[in-house]
Amino acid sequence: MRNNSILIWIMAVIAAAPLWAQTPVESEINCPTDTIDGEIVYKYEVEKGIGLYRVGVNFNVPQSEIIRMNPQLKQRGLHFGETILIPTGRRVVRQTEAVVVKTEVRDLPPQPAPVIVEQKEMPIVADKTPANVDTLPLAIDTILTIDTLPLPEKQVIELALMLPFESQQIKRSTNAEKMLEFYQGALLALHELQNDSTIYRLRVYDTERSERRVNALCDSTLLDSVRGILGLVYPIQIERMTVWAALHNVPLLVPFSNDLELDGHPQLMQFNATDRQEADSLCHWMHTKDLHYVAVEVREADMTSSIRTLRRQIRANGITYTGLALRDLMADSAAYALSKEKENLIILHSDRYQHVRPLIPHLEMLQAAGYRIRIVSQYSWQKEQIRLPQVYTSMFNSNRITDTYEAEWKHYFVNEHVSVTPRYDQLGYDLMKMLVAYLHGQTAYNGLQSDINFVRTGENGGWQNSHVMVLTKE
């Protein structure tokens, strides 16, 4: 009973799904209505500080449906005080219209059969036309052909999303808000994937930081019908679910980790590039440049794993560099270790900004003195306005300009600091699309934010995204 309540409870807490649920009771929404091409809509005046996502939640209507009624929102978003149209899910039906029911006649031979359609009394407003009923304006005694062939049954594919939404916390962290954005993007992807032959159903679980919750799910029958899993953040949870995925032959796509053990786990899929991938990509970029390399020398124990891997791959690629201690780079004598003729690439000892912050002003002073300096940095520094040119490695990239459901966005990395953190809704959208594509036998996907190409890591290994490139800020 406890396990069953997890799914129900989290769906109630984060019920912001952009899939169309049922239309709210009209008495609960104090908005005037109008009729547009036979469709009853609310006329809503946009309130101050409200966004498209919140409007969709308040009216229980998917964002795509709101944009359908108001196509101008796709380019510019909501404006305070403007009036937009919001579909109610109801239509006005003329009294003279008739209703024709699609039927299956399995005992008759598969050939057209003439049917006389008579005029029927119809209510002026119908809440929602049933899925198996078409409303057609027909005259009396009209001859209609009914297809007597059996209708195809829809395939139902169940998927699971497991993320730390922190729904039981009184005050959720900013990471939990990012998980909700990721969730919204994943739901939008499934909404677009629905078609005449396939229905996608999503089970959502709040894993918090708890190993116990994941163990309970693995030991229950809740996941028995699940065909694919997206999510999980913490290593102990991923390790437990990896065992379950292998036993049940279910792919597990992990969105944020970059250090998974893929050998021997053919169902495990890691989206983030490994430290080795990023280091090799950066070394390849270095070979195309005529640079003078300076590495900050610190104790091995003080290096982050990504920098340690980068140093190892630099040596393996035959790239020579000058090693300087952090205090030496911050001293007046640092200029003697730099080159006046070449651009100096400073390889920092850490990928965390707070660890190298004291060095940045000194490098900026050297730059002002005429030295050309570039530093290796990470996309996690998006809030720091550093005036030095920087080098990034990342898999978040696309060369297309894409219309999304909210606005027009360029490819993920551009030469601005404010654009170097993932949009989690687009990331959720891309990875859900990738998971479904994998279930249909595909290993590559060109997304809104990320171009993904999964490759096997060995004969019996898991899948690793091979799409990684170096991007620079000039």
The answer to whether the Cα torsion of 159, 163, 168, 174 is positive or negative is negative
pLDDT surpassing 60 at residue 4: no
Comparing 79-88, 108-117, 276-285, the range with the smallest average pLDDT is 108-117
361: its two tokens: 């002003």
pLDDT surpassing 70 at residue 106: no
Residue 160's pLDDT band (boundaries 50, 70, 90)?
Answer: very high
Comparing 132-141, 231-240, 464-473, the range with the smallest average pLDDT is 132-141
What residues contact residue 427 under an 8 Å CB cut-off, 6+ apart? 182, 185, 255, 396, 449, 450
Give the model's pLDDT for residue 11: 45
pLDDT surpassing 70 at residue 131: no
Q: Which amino acid is at 167?
A: S
Higher pLDDT among residues 386 and 40, named by residue: 40
Average pLDDT over residues 16-29: 43
15-19, 54-58, 177-181, 396-400: which is most confident:
177-181
CA–CA distance, 163 with 166 (Å, rounded to integer)? 9
What residues contact residue 376 under an 8 Å CB cut-off, 6+ apart? 282, 310, 345, 346, 347, 348, 390, 391
Beta strand ranges found along 103-175 (DSSP E): 113-117, 125-126, 133-136, 142-146, 155-163
Higher pLDDT among residues 132 and 62, named by residue: 62
Give the model's pLDDT for residue 421: 56
What residues contact residue 315 under an 8 Å CB cut-off, 6+ apart? none
> Which segments of 194-340 does DSSP mark as H helices, in order?
211-219, 235-248, 275-287, 305-316, 326-329
Average pLDDT over residues 158-168: 93
What residues contact residue 316 under an 8 Å CB cut-off, 6+ apart? none
120: its two tokens: 């029927």
What does the pLDDT look like over 225-263, one tens digit per residue? 999 999 999 999 999 999 999 999 999 999 988 889 999
Residue 344's pLDDT band (boundaries 50, 70, 90)?
Answer: very high
What does the pLDDT look like over 47-62, one tens digit per residue? 877 777 788 888 888 8
Question: Per DSSP, what are the bridge partners of residue 453?
Answer: 444
- Which domains, ranges and CATH numbers included, belong to the chain? 15-92 (3.10.350.10), 96-146 (no CATH), 152-273+424-466 (3.40.50.2300), 277-394 (3.40.50)
Give the model's pLDDT for residue 474: 63
Give the model's pLDDT for residue 152: 65
Q: Are 296 and 348 in contact (CB under 8 A)?
A: yes
12-26, 284-298, 347-361: which is most confident:
284-298
N- to C-terminal Cα distance for the chain?
Answer: 57
79: its two tokens: 């404006």
What pTM does this model have?
A: 0.64
pLDDT surpassing 60 at residue 148: no
- Which of 421, 423, 394 lies closest to 407 in space, CA to CA? 423
Give the model's pLDDT for residue 94: 52
Give the model's pLDDT for residue 168: 83
131: its two tokens: 């899925």
Average pLDDT over residues 370-376: 92
Give the model's pLDDT for residue 107: 42
Q: Are 271 and 238 in contact (CB under 8 A)?
A: no
Average pLDDT over residues 387-401: 68
Residue 379's pLDDT band (boundaries 50, 70, 90)?
Answer: low
- Which of 407, 429, 455, 447 lies closest to 67 in space, CA to CA? 407
Residue 100's pLDDT band (boundaries 50, 70, 90)?
Answer: very low
Q: Are 256 and 450 in contact (CB under 8 A)?
A: no
- The two beta strands, 373-376 and 390-394, are parallel
Q: Are 284 and 470 in contact (CB under 8 A)?
A: yes
Give the model's pLDDT for residue 382: 60
pLDDT surpassing 80 at residue 405: no
Q: Are 267 and 198 in contact (CB under 8 A)?
A: no
Share of the chain above pLDDT 90, in %: 33
Q: What is the mean pLDDT of the chain?
A: 77
Share of the chain above pLDDT 70, in %: 74
pLDDT surpassing 50 at residue 217: yes
297-306, 361-370, 398-407: which is most confident:
361-370
What does the pLDDT look like over 414-446, one tens digit per residue? 333 334 456 788 889 999 999 999 999 999 998
Residue 183's pLDDT band (boundaries 50, 70, 90)?
Answer: very high
CA–CA distance, 146 with 149 (Å, rounded to integer)? 9
CA–CA distance, 105 with 319 (Å, rounded to integer)? 75
Q: How many CB atoms lie within 10 A of CB 165?
A: 24
